[in-house]
Amino acid sequence: MKNDTIDSHQPARNTNLDALRRLSPYLKPVRGRMIGSAVAVLASMMCGLLIPLVIQRILDGPVATGDTSALGWMVAAVGVLGAAEALLFFTRRRLISGPSTRAEAELRKDLYHHLQRLPIAFHDRWQSGQLLSRAVSDLSTLRRFIAFALIFLVVNSLTLVIGLGVLFLLDPMLGLISTLCAAPLILISTLYESRYAVLARRSQDQNGDLATTVEESVLGIRVLKAFGRGPHLAARFAEQARELRRTELRKVHVVGLLWGAIIVLPEIAIGGQLLYGTFGIANGTMTVGTLVAAVAVATYLRWPTDSIGWLLAETNQAATAAMRYWEVRDAEITITDPPVPRRLPATARGHLRFENVRFAHPGSDTEILRGVTLDVRPGETVALVGATGSGKTTLTALVPRLVDVTGGRVTVDGVDVRDLELGQLRRVVATAFEEPVLFSASVRENVALGGTEVDEDDVRQALRVAAAEDFVDALPWGLDTRIGEQGLSLSGGQRQRLALARAVVGRPSVLVLDDPLSALDVHTEAEVEHALRSVLRDVTALVVAHRPSTVQLADRVAMLSGGRITAVGTHSDLLAGNAEYRALLSTDDDARSEVVA
Amino acid sequence: MSAPTNQADQVTTPGPDEQWRGVAAEDVTELDAVVGARLQKRSRVLLASLVRPRLWTALLALALVVTENLVVLAGPLMIAITIDTGIPNAIDGDTAVLAWCVGGYLAAGLGGAALRFAFLKVSGRFGQDVLLDLRQRVFGHAQRLSLSFHEDYTSGKVISRLTSDIDSLHDLLEDGLDGLLTAVLSVFGIAVMLLVLDLPLGLLVLTGLIPVVLVTRWFYLRSRYAYRNTRGAIAKIIVQFVETMNGMRAVQAFRRESRNESILAGFNDEFRGANKRALDVMATFTMTVRLVGNLSLALVLAIGAVRVVQGGLELGVLTAFTLYLRRFYDPLDELAMFANSYTSAIAALEKISGVLEERPTVVDPASPVALPPAKTGRAVTFDGVEFRYSTGGPVVLPRFDLAVPAGQTVALVGATGAGKSTIAKLVARFYDPPSGRVALSGVDLRSVADAELRRAVVMVTQENFLFAGSVADNIALGRPGASRAEIEAAAEAVGADEFIRALPGGYDTDVRKRGGRLSAGQRQLVAFARAFLADPAVLVLDEATSSLDVPTERAVQRALESVLADRTALIIAHRLSTVLIADRVLVVEGGRIVEDGSPAELVEHPAGGRFAALHRTWLESLA
């Protein structure tokens, strides 16, 4: 089983650097600290560079002449510079720790915000492992980049230039030697950049795939256990992990080559300077102090030079992480508030209409819905019946705009749902899904979910309607019991009743129920049904039904077939007059005769 | 959230020795010294067990880095010789020493670069092998752990163990180890060199190490605390993400977005705070080290200069000292980086080793008993079985006996929570009963090898989890290695063939995340096809047809009837139509079997039993 890592709906491929540059809004509020931090690094490097120059004075002055009167001052200068350097190190780290961690948190917050608004179609397409690896490992890569690599990339390049300047001042020839040796850096880095970027991207994508497999292995643990397929998935995981290992080893190879090439350059420079310096001293054109200082400066430049390789790797990694991040952030939120929202009439009655509604999945040319027209009058309950896979669930998802129609329109009280503010629409329309998802939170919170206006009485009322109050009260902490993944686990029927309570809690005027009774046993079903009847009296409801018992909640039944509503009527009308309906819903005699037999 | 957190609260407090075992100490931030030390030891034991099998690679890496450091160490020495001997000789016209020294310096540089490359390759391989090993161990172990562990521990935590926690070990192996080796070696090498060059000055420099050691200790303790917190916080972020992504429909339909954002903001702040603290501790550490280094440099210069002037010290030696001193303290920064990665990795390993330490409660037998050959299903027997989910927890199934002869189809009926699923899960050995035994063909399930048990017993539940991949892949999960024809035959048998062929790619259609491309009913059909392909002797169906429409359910039932003819089956269904195909019905109430008989017998129950009542309600609903 393969995972689709990158889908076809990506925006045009940005260049790496653009992706990094786009992070700047996150750094803007902390620009002062970033600059302060860079200045601190630069200043500390200057201190570090000045120390060898003072040493030169010591060696050429007091040591050479034997006059130690000035020695005290000079040593003090080394001490002060050294202390300053240490303090600046501290300052730099303290200044950057806030901004880098804040930028990471903000990036994560915005990613989460965006993901929660992306349409369901996006989430069906993207494996959550890929999203997770972006939210966690890519963002920590970016944090590290901001905290270290970004500043050092700037500062080390500057230090290199300044250091070369100092060498030129000491002796133009010494400067020239170092410059000649630093020049190939540019060439090597460019060659390397393109090779490394590809590998970095591959490794991060493979990490995402690995996360996806991990996630599936955990969420699907019951199926894996039931079939004893743990080892099977483990083999797939191992294969993916080995692929990742191969990519990582290639990365190591490329970095190793780069590193090797880069560290040899300063050594050549120092060797050259030694040779030249010795002849200078022999000819009397140079002092020993100058040579020692030059070698000390060149030695000091080793780190800024050597680190270029590491910094480039980090930068590349960060650029790839940023690109992966923006891929998700750039995914278009296709379901949005209208520019000029219309308001529902003050007395919302919940008149739900489907007008010639068409729907096809993005990128697919086969329409699932081909002109559905259905009128659900205020207060009426309509059951939606159709074969497995006929598009019933899709039709229900159109009402709260989890997906948008590709043709026609859905209206509530005469207003196209796309002209309503999403918040208002979803307050008016409530949905109970076939597969009830519970979150790790208290029962109260699971029922109220987003409804901030909901109080305890409302929650209790909703639980009563869903015939869930008794079992909730029997939980160890009643309404405050934590349920969902990180809490008590509930049975399928209990979950479904909570999902039902969730749907009725906000007193919606339109209720969309997707097979709300499927996981209930006959006894509970009767209870919930009874409670539902009292709710359905006041609201408009569209109920997807597989069972005669559910259908009986409805005033009318609509038959969905071939992407259209082919018949509307009462249960008994349709049973009598519609062959397809009869086939779908009649519990005809063969079942009954078996009992008797 | 102020609500009580989870089930763990209910469990009786573990004894002092149990507090750190497995994943018990995971969410505790303040550990007492004993437990802390044990956790650390456990992490180190794990690390050692990862290193041991590839010790030679590690030693090779070590040898390379030692050689590299020795070679690089020769550099300043060459410079010292150049200044002390090479230059005076060159002035006298003898350039031999000079040439040797400069040549030696260049050779050292080139050799160092080559050795660095070799070291990176070898240590990279070592690190990647360790990671691969650890990933496989944790993944395999998580799969072996029993459901009861997963239900308590939750998916998000397992995911963060296998993703972000392993990433921190990756950081340690990639950058940290290199930093450590290089730093330790060069500090050690330079220390020796300094002592050899000049004993008094060398000793002076080494006393500077005392404050460094002290500050390192402080740093280690503080950053360990901070990193434990980052691990905890990132796991919460991962859980929040995973839950949101998997429940996106409910999140959007019920306007949960802003509440979710405030929850995430809390975790995000926690993570950010812990990370910032770790960075700030690092700031103090590097400052101190650098300060000590620079002050000893000043001191060496003062004393050294005076001694050179007085003739007690060669100028070259002083020069070499100043150069070495820079190199002496530079690696200490790297040491700090290493300590950073190390504490972070140890905090992660602590959690990983906790998961690895958990023992499955349902274990594969050491000496499995082979099941006797069977043609028409297998007998399932419960002998004096009593069941509770945790010791001290409420009894879910009071002691009972039950014998299901081979080939019988048994339906379990009863209200939600009556214990039907628990009985089914015991047959599939998701749990072991604390007392009594469940046997298959007379063999205790605890003595049957897992692979054989899974071939014999397959359970289909209402959560039909589909994996990423094609429809065919998902069906083939029932029997890996099945041919396409077999897969299609299984789909055909349950009536799934038609809709699958209508998909754009037929059997090769990608089902998308969790089977998002298919409807709930279609997913259930795929799950059924999977079970048919597995072709078990005992089939357990727990609410497996709840999302099917009536004709599809009927098709499945017809298929079931022919398939079940020579199989043992345990069916849980709320639809009486499904129940009626059974040979025998068990009505379960409060964990007890209160009625037992054929459907016809129970319907005709003279005193109006529970099943008869259910049946009447059902008939009325059809009217």
Does residue A464 lie in a domain region? yes
Residue A372 and residue A312 in one domain: no
> Scanning the structure block, which residue is given the tokens 């130690």?
A68
* Angstroms from B144 CA to nearest CA on chain A: 7
Which positions in chain B touch A285 (Cβ < 8 Å)? none
The answer to whether residues A97 and A183 belong to one domain is yes
For A293, nearest residue in chain B (alpha carbons): B319
| Residue A143 confidence (pLDDT) | 92
Q: Do B461 and A222 touch (CB under 8 A)?
A: yes
**Angle A230-283/A288-329 helices, nearest 10 degrees?**
150
| Shared domain check, A357 and A319 | no
> What percent of chain A lies above the pLDDT cut of 90?
31
**B382-406 in b/e burial notation, b at 16+ Cβ within 10 A?**
beebbbbbeeeeeebbebbeeebeb
A46: its two tokens: 């200057």
Q: What is the pLDDT of residue B607?
A: 67
Residues of B in contact with A232 (CB under 8 A): 477, 480
Up-side HSE of residue A39: CA atoms within 13 Å toward CB? 7
Asked whether the beta carbons of B73 and B190 are under 8 A apart, the reply is yes
d(CA B233, nearest CA chain A) in Å:
11
Q: Does residue A334 form part of some domain?
A: no
Is pLDDT of A318 > 90?
yes
Mutate to test the interface with B, among A53, A481, A485 (most CBs of B within 10 A): A485
Tokens representing A85 are 């350097």
Average pLDDT over residues A324-352: 89
Q: What is the pLDDT of residue A396?
A: 92
CB contacts, 8 Å: B120 with chain A: 252, 255-256, 259
Q: pLDDT tens, A28-87?
A: 888 899 889 989 988 988 888 788 888 888 888 877 787 878 888 888 999 999 999 999
**Distance separating alpha carbons of residues A132 and B160, to the nearest angstrom:** 10
Give yes or no: residues A173 and A255 share one domain: yes
Tell whether the model's pLDDT for residue A464 goes beyond 70: yes
Mean pLDDT of the A495-504 span: 85
Contacts of A143 in chain B (CB under 8 A): 275
pLDDT value at residue B438: 95
Question: Which residues from A are below 8 Å from B417, CB to CB?
Answer: 471, 491, 493-494
> Does pLDDT of B8 surpass 50?
no
Q: Is the pLDDT of residue B26 over 50?
A: yes
* Confidence at residue B622, expressed as pLDDT on a 0 to 100 scale: 62
CB contact at 8 A, B136 and B53: no
Select from A176, A141, A404, A157 the least CA-distant residue to A272: A176
Residue A487: the pLDDT is: 59
Asked if A277 and A375 sit in the same domain, the reply is no
Residue A558: the pLDDT is 94
CB contact under 8 A, B87 and A278: yes
Are residues B520 and A515, on separate chains, in Cβ contact within 8 Å? Answer: yes
Which of the four pLDDT bands, split at 50, 70 and 90, describes residue A581?
confident
Confidence of residue B27 (pLDDT cuts 50, 70, 90): low
Handedness of CA B36, B42, B45, B47 (dihedral sign): negative
Cα atoms found within 13 Å of the Cα of residue A494, Cβ hemisphere only: 20
- Which residue, A298, A329, A360, sits at the end of a domain? A329
Q: Residue B124: its chain A contacts at CB < 8 A?
A: 248-249, 252-253, 256
For residue B144, the chain A residues in CB contact (below 8 A) are 230
A7 within a domain of the structure (yes/no): no
Contact B290 A228 (CB under 8 A): no
* Domain finish residue from A297, A329, A361: A329
Contact B252 A87 (CB under 8 A): no
Chain A nearest-CA distance from B480, in A, is: 8
The packing angle between helices A184-219 and B96-144, to 10°, is 10
A357 with A324, same domain: the answer is no
Mutate to test the interface with A, among B2, B65, B69, B87 (most CBs of A within 10 A): B87
Lowest mean pLDDT among A155-169, A319-333, B329-343: B329-343
Look up the ipTM and state it: 0.86
**Beta-sheet strands, E only, within A361-406:** 367-376, 381-386
What is the least distance, in Å, from the CA of B155 to any CA of chain A? 6
Mean pLDDT is highest, among A452-456, A556-560, B494-498, for: A556-560
What integer pLDDT is reported at residue A529 of this predicted model? 78
Do residue A137 and residue B163 have CB atoms under 8 angstroms apart?
yes
**Alpha-carbon distance B450 to B447, whole Å?**
9
Kindly state whether residue A1 falls inside one of the protein's structural domains: no
Do A87 and B599 lie within an 8 Å CB cutoff?
no
Contact criterion met (CB < 8 Å) for A59 and B417? no
Identity of the residue in A228, A427, A449 whose CB atom sits nearest the CB atom of B454: A228
Point out the least confidently predicted range of A366-375, B6-15, B333-342: B6-15
Do A310 and A393 belong to one domain? Answer: no
Contact A116 B276 (CB under 8 A): no
Instruction: Report the pLDDT value the prediction gives residue A280, as an integer from 0 to 100.
Output: 84
In a domain, A346, yes or no: no
- Measured from the Cβ of residue A198, the count of other Cβ atoms closer than 10 Å reads 15
Residue A144, in any domain of the structure = yes
Same-domain pairing of A372 and A325: no
Give tens-digit pLDDT for A516-555. Answer: 777 677 667 777 777 778 778 788 999 998 877 788 888 9
C-alpha span between B368 and B472 (Å, rounded):
33
Q: What is the mean pLDDT of chain A?
A: 85
pLDDT of residue B130 exceeding 90:
yes
Work out the average pLDDT over A562-588. 85
* DSSP 3-state of A509: coil
Q: Is the model's pLDDT at B224 over the cut of 50?
A: yes
Half-sphere exposure of B260 (CA within 13 A, CB side): 31
Give the domain CATH number at A427.
3.40.50.300
* Confidence band for B3, pLDDT divided at 50, 70 and 90: very low
Mutate which: A215, A335, A456, vs B, most B CBs within 10 A: A215
CA B509 to chain centre: 30
pLDDT tens digits along B354-379: 999 998 888 888 899 999 988 778 99
Average pLDDT of the residues in B31-51: 83
Question: Count of A–B CB contacts within 8 Å?
Answer: 557
pLDDT at B585: 92
Q: Would you state the pLDDT for residue B621? A: 65
Contacts of B83 in chain A (CB under 8 A): 288, 291-292
Contact A486 B154 (CB under 8 A): yes
Residues of B in contact with A493 (CB under 8 A): 416-417
Torsion of CA A537, A543, A549, A553, to 10 degrees: 10
Contact residues on chain A for B322, CB-CB shorter than 8 A: 55, 292, 296
Domains of chain B: 29-357 (1.20.1560.10), 380-465+539-622 (3.40.50.300)
Distance, in Å, from the CA atom of A503 to the CA atom of A510, rounded to the nearest integer, reads: 10
Last residue of a domain, one of A294, A329, A364: A329
| Closest-CA residue of chain A to B413 | A521
* Listed residue (B329, B316, B294, B318) closest to B201, CA to CA: B318
A8 belongs to a structural domain: no
pLDDT of residue B24: 65
Helix, strand, coil % over all residues of chain B, rounded to 5: 65, 10, 25
- Which pLDDT score is estimated for A117? 92
**Same structural domain for residues A165 and A30?**
yes
Whether the CB-CB separation of B338 and B285 falls below 8 Å is answered with no
Q: How confident is the model at residue A282 (pLDDT cuts 50, 70, 90)?
A: confident
Q: What is the pLDDT of residue B207?
A: 87
A192/A232 same-domain check: yes
Percent of chain B at pLDDT > 70 equals 93
Q: A385 and A288, same structural domain?
A: no
Under an 8 A CB cutoff, do A433 and B249 touch?
A: yes
> Considering the domain boundaries, does residue A461 fall inside one?
yes
Q: What is the mean pLDDT of residues A216-231?
A: 85
Using CB atoms, which residue from A68, A296, A485 is nearest to B243? A485
Asked whether the predicted pLDDT for residue B508 surpasses 50, the reply is yes
Q: Examine the domain organization and report whether A256 and A359 are in the same domain.
A: no
The structure tokens listed for B304 are: 């050294």
Q: Do B128 and A249 touch (CB under 8 A)?
A: yes
CATH code, A303 = 1.20.1560.10
State residue A90's pLDDT score.
92
Q: What is the mean pLDDT of chain B?
A: 84
Question: Which residues does chain B have within 8 Å of residue A518's beta carbon, measured at their own beta carbons?
Answer: 546-547
| B416-457 tens-digit pLDDT | 778 888 899 999 998 899 999 999 999 999 999 988 998 899
Q: Which residues partner with A411 through β-bridges?
A: A353, A416
Mean pLDDT of B11-21: 45
Looking at residue B11, its pLDDT comes to 35
Beta-strand pair A540-544/A510-514: parallel
**Chain A nearest CA to B257, separation (Å):** 6
Q: Give the gap in angstroms from C-alpha B255 to the nearest C-alpha of chain A.
A: 5
Of B10, B139, B297, the CB nearest to A237: B139
Closest residue in chain A to residue B168, using alpha carbons only? A137
For residue B9, count CB atoms less than 10 angstroms from its CB and return exposed for 0-12, middle for 13-18, buried for 19 or more: exposed
Write the CB contacts of B1 (distance below 8 Å, at least 6 apart in sequence).
A441, A442, A445, A482
Contact B121 A105 (CB under 8 A): no
Q: Quick one: pLDDT at residue B14?
A: 38
Q: Which residue of B has its CA nearest to A222?
A: B147
pLDDT band per the 50, 70, 90 thresholds, residue A154: confident
User: Which residues of chain B are within 8 Å of residue A482 when distances are taken between CB atoms?
Assistant: 1, 3-6
Query: pLDDT: is A262 or B34 the higher one?
Result: A262
Q: What is the pLDDT of residue B21?
A: 62
CB contact under 8 A, B158 and A147: no
Which residue did the predictor score with more confidence, B513 or A10? B513
Q: For the segment B251-284, what is each residue's pLDDT rounded down to a tens digit?
A: 888 888 888 999 999 999 999 999 999 889 888 9
Greater confidence (B40 vs B124) lies with: B124
pLDDT-derived band at B623 (thresholds 50, 70, 90) equals low
Quote the minimal CA–CA distance from B298 to chain A in Å.
5
Query: For B137-167, b where at least 16 C-beta lie within 10 A, e where not — what string?
Result: bbbbbbbbbbbbbbbbbbbbbbbbbbbbbbb
- Counted domains in chain A: 2
With a cut of 70, say whether residue B1 has pLDDT above it. Answer: no
Which residue of A133, A274, A489 is in closest CB contact with B79? Answer: A274
Is there a contact between B154 and A2 if contact means CB atoms under 8 Å apart? no
Bridge partners of B134? none
Under DSSP, is residue B1 helix (H, G, I), strand (E, B) or coil?
Answer: coil
Res. A12: pLDDT tops 60: no
The structure tokens 């029922």 sit at A447
Which residues constitute the domain of residue A449?
A: 352-586
pLDDT at A5: 39
B271 contacts A214? CB cut-off 8 A: no
